[in-house]
């Protein structure tokens, strides 16, 4: 099963994004961006009720990870998430319909 994460960054919702298989904590997720996101370590994360520290487990859907931080980090993060969401949408649209493969239309 794919590890997925739903995020809210700068007011935009990114639902069911795939996360690296070895990421289970907030700190691991931040570090997964490497040099792509400047100041990623300074991103502040919460689950909507309380702040989440580096060792906190990532929320499972339907929970969301709310992310705030330095403008340069958020500005770099949003396009990465949009690109990932676009790739997922493209893959889903090009995937064959499993119902038609089985010859089933419900009859």
**Confidence at 105, pLDDT banded by 50, 70, 90:** low
**pLDDT tens digit sequence for 59-85:** 988 899 999 999 999 999 999 999 988
H helix or E strand, kind and range, residue 65: strand 64-68
Asked if the model's pLDDT at residue 97 lies above 80, the reply is no
**pLDDT tens digit sequence for 23-70:** 999 999 999 998 999 999 999 999 999 999 999 999 988 899 999 999
Give the DSSP per-residue string, 20-51. Answer: -TT--BHHHHHHTTGGGSTTGGG-EEE-SSSE
- Distance in angstroms (rounded) separating the CA atoms of residues 19 and 93: 20
Decide: 23 and 58 in contact? Cβ < 8 Å: yes
User: What is the pTM for the complete model shown?
Assistant: 0.77
């Amino acid at each position: 099963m794919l590890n997925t994460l739903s995020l809210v960054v700068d007011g935009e919702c990114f639902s069911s994004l795939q996360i690296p298989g070895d990421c289970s904590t907030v700190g691991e997720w931040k570090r997964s961006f490497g040099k792509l996101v400047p100041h990623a370590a300074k991103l502040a994360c919460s689950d909507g009720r309380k702040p989440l520290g580096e060792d906190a487990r990532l929320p499972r859907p339907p929970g969301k990870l709310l992310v705030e931080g330095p403008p340069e980090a958020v500005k770099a993060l949003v396009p990465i998430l949009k690109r990932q969401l676009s790739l997922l949408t493209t893959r889903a649209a090009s995937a064959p319909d499993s119902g038609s493969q089985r010859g089933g239309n419900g009859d």
